Amino acid sequence: MIVMAKINTDVPDKLRAPLLQAALIRVPFEGWSEKTISRAARDINIKPTLAQLAFPGGALSMIDLLSQQQDQRMVDICTVERLAPLKIREKITLLVRSRIESEKEIRETVRNSVIYLALPINYSHGLKILYRTVDLMWKTINDPSTDFNYYTKRLTLAGVYSSVLLYWLSDESDDYVDTWDFLDRQIANVMQFEKIKAKIRNLTNKIPDKGMTILDNMSKLRYP
């Protein structure tokens, strides 16, 4: 009778965090690549094959884990007690700023990650990572939106967060004050857009329905 050796499948999972930390030291100088991961594995004295088991998606898997870690840091910073007294726009501003500030120690790595995710082959995965972050922001403030509003809010915030992140990556101002001013302007623009939408909604609600569309009503105003 042949007894098969039991494989400890937990090992790759335990290696993910230390492997990522080892890679973060190299990425600012070498970028994201399979070679970077292999060298990171050797830096912590493990075989590259184990690194492949820990991150089967290669650099994409590492960037994904890094994003999850930073998302969690954002949530830890923006506690319920800290968010409670704030208005919605203030809550979102704090979340976006906290998410970006959580990466100030790894800014060059973030820059490399943005470049790597912008490659056509990685673009869809980058969008998934972005969506997960902004979705978590709305969930952190217990946003009750459903249906169309649910998605429009996330798309809008994705635009705000990504534009502020890119601005921050090239910001050389003290304590990134220019970035936070830019963030405030972006949020203000979104709030203005929401006000315009609300006015249009109120206007259309005042138009008699009776089974007619807005265009039907407009045509009757011109051609009674």
Residues 112-157 have pLDDT tens digits of: 999 999 999 999 999 999 999 999 999 999 998 888 889 999 999 9
Cβ atoms of residues 128 and 63 within 8 Å: no
pLDDT digits (tens, 9 = 90+) for 157-184: 999 999 999 999 999 999 999 999 999 9
Distance of CA 90 to the CA centre of its chain: 18
φ, ψ (nearest 5 deg) of residue 7? -90, 130
Q: Report the candidate in 21, 19, 23, 15 with the shortest Cα–Cα distance to residue 112.
A: 23
Please determine, for residue 187, whether its predicted confidence score (pLDDT) is greater than 60.
Answer: yes
Q: Report the candidate in 101, 95, 99, 188 with the shortest Cα–Cα distance to residue 142.
A: 95
pLDDT digits (tens, 9 = 90+) for 195-222: 555 554 554 555 555 444 443 543 444 4
**pLDDT score of 167:** 98
What's this model's pTM, rounded to 2 decimal places?
Answer: 0.81
pLDDT digits (tens, 9 = 90+) for 59-107: 999 999 999 999 999 999 999 999 999 999 999 999 999 999 999 999 9
Least confident of 38-42, 52-56, 135-139, 190-194: 190-194
Cβ atoms of residues 149 and 81 within 8 Å: no
| Domain spans of the chain, in order of start | 10-56
